[in-house]
Structure 1
Amino acid sequence: MEKLTGIGKLDRERLASILRGTKGTVSVAEAAGILGAARTDAAKMLSRWHKKGWLSRVRRGLYVPVPLEASTADVPLEDPWQIAVSLFAPCYIGGWSAAEYWDLTEQIFRTTVVMTQRTPRDRNPVIKGAAFLVCSINEKKLFGLKPVWRGQVKVSVSDPARTVLDMLAEPRLGGGIRSVRDMLANYLRSETKNLDLLIDYADRLGNGAVFKRLGFLLERDAPDERAAIEKCAQRLTKGNARLDTKLAAERLVSRWRLWVPESWLKEAA
């Protein structure tokens, strides 16, 4: 735990310049550019300020400023979304994190879902108390995103349709298919509902399991959405998928080529 200690006038001026010129996080490269210093010198300065408690280290070479009211540098991240941009860009916030943002769920998830082009070694990092679920995604699949501002940092988040689509493609991103089902129902009741857009996104994503899960859920819970249900049926791919790969699936619904748990069929009866 680093305690706050004093720094000299020159260090205060340098640190103030860096904080004015950065947004949310401070990297060695940014500090070197702002100060016109060598990277090694900038790295030593940031390390020194970290040891004195004025910066909090996120990872090697990346820091966040410590709030003035803090008595120690050992502080939690104020906004994990801001850090995600620095750690995983190009990326976007998706899954249940985006669903919370768009009011598609009242559940509180303490882990931030990040969809990134990178291939990180640790897909479940915990950084200064903030937990992340990191999923890799192809560059061609970076669509359906909206920019939002978190303080001074612009962050991409999946729009409501893309959020639902990602969770249908990978139910774990929504906390499992039961949660995804509830979020889909909320989407259908929301002002952002656009099933044509959802189908278009699914076409672009090219994941056959999405149409099987979406068609099944719509026919089960929103049978009046006949046009969307028919579009899903027209796009069925060969082979059988599972409603949720994490659940036991005893029954095959041949119409949707989908293995589902017995309990889901009993609920629908």
Structure 2
Amino acid sequence: MKKISAKYKSLSKDELYLISRIEYEKKRLITTEYVRNIFGVAKKAANILNRLTQKERFIQIEKGKYILVPIKAPNQQWMPNEFIVAALWMGDRSYYIGYFTMYNYWGFTEQIPRTIFVLNTEKSSKKDISGIRYEAVKIKPEKYYGVQKIKVEDQEVFISDKERTLVDFAYNPLGSMRNFEVALQDNIKNIDVEKFVKYLIKFPVIAVRKRVGFFLEEYGCSKDTLQPLHKAIGEKRVLVPLDPFRQSRKGKINKEWKIIVNR
């Protein structure tokens, strides 16, 4: 009689059949509905999903959504790609991976993010999946632009492109505008400045336009390039601090960009 491999011993016939079928079909996302359709009985499907999750053969993303740990993984020591998990978690929602995750991805900071940030138009929530922290951040539809599609292990994943990431960085820097300032200065020759300006004009926070306009002018961008951005800050004489994280609002006034230079 043929011996059963140790990695299969703890699996029932139904569990092994389900895993084999998933791997044969190269199915990345397993849903409760998919398993129910295979076994025909809702309770049986639920029990199998529960057992495979307890045996660490399935990783639950959220209710009704699972990822298979490959049968070849030694002792189930396997981690799914974080970008793929984020994409499967979001499903059909409009989303992009952004914020600190992309600051590091595009080389704007060397800080390694502890959380995968997923900006989307539907929900805000936090979740731990296989020891990784995921945070869904709900944004207004008008902030959903500048999104780039990439392939990760044949899975389509949406991320913020380089210029859109810089807009987010200006809006949500790592505790100090100095971090954004350094990133912009180091990368200004590696971005499409005209696209960046268009993205800034589209971003619905005037204070961000003012701060970045000030920096771009300081780094030598032409008046022709910055003219549309300058127009987009409006006529109101509302001053904003260059660094909103500093308590002091003392500093020179830049009348052109309506900035308090509180460096």
Q: TM-score, normalised by structure 2?
A: 0.80
| Aligned residue in 2 for 1:101 | 105
Q: After superposition, where does 1:112-151 map in structure 2 within 5 Å?
A: 112-122=116-126, 125-151=127-153
- Name the stretch that deviates more: 13-22 or 138-147: 13-22
Q: After superposition, where does 1:7-86 map in structure 2 within 5 Å?
A: 7-21=11-25, 23-33=27-37, 35=38, 37=40, 39-67=42-70, 68-72=72-76, 77-86=79-88
Q: Is the CA contact (8 Å cut-off) linking 1:76 and 1:128 kept in structure 2?
A: no
Q: Is the CA contact (8 Å cut-off) linking 1:24 and 1:83 kept in structure 2?
A: no
Change (3 A) 1:128 1:243: farther
Pick aligned residue for 2:230 from 233, 248, 255:
233
| Aligned residue in 1 for 2:187 | 187
Unaligned stretches of 5+ in structure 2? 1-6
Percent identity, aligned pairs only, is 22
Shift of 1:246: 3.1
| Aligned residue in 1 for 2:3 | none
What is the number of residues matched between the two proteins?
250
Change (3 A) 1:106 1:171: closer
Letter in 1 for 2:53: H
Letter in 2 for 1:177: M
Pick aligned residue for 1:167 from 166, 169, 185:
169
Change (3 A) 1:21 1:249: farther
User: CA–CA distance in 1 between the matches of 2:227 and 2:260?
Assistant: 20
Change (3 A) 1:223 1:150: same
Shift of 1:50: 1.7
- What is the SS of the residue equivalent to 1:47? helix
Q: Is the CA contact (8 Å cut-off) linking 1:214 and 1:232 kept in structure 2?
A: no
Larger radius of gyration: 2
User: CA–CA distance in 1 between the matches of 2:81 and 2:254?
Assistant: 45
User: CA–CA distance in 2 between the matches of 1:231 and 1:71?
Assistant: 58
Letter in 2 for 1:207: V
Shift of 1:188: 0.9
Change (3 A) 1:243 1:170: farther
Q: Is 1:215 matched up with 2:213?
A: yes
Unaligned stretches of 5+ in structure 1? 265-269
Q: Report the aligned-residue RMSD.
A: 2.8
Shift of 1:161: 1.1
Letter in 2 for 1:95: Y
Q: TM-score, normalised by structure 1?
A: 0.78
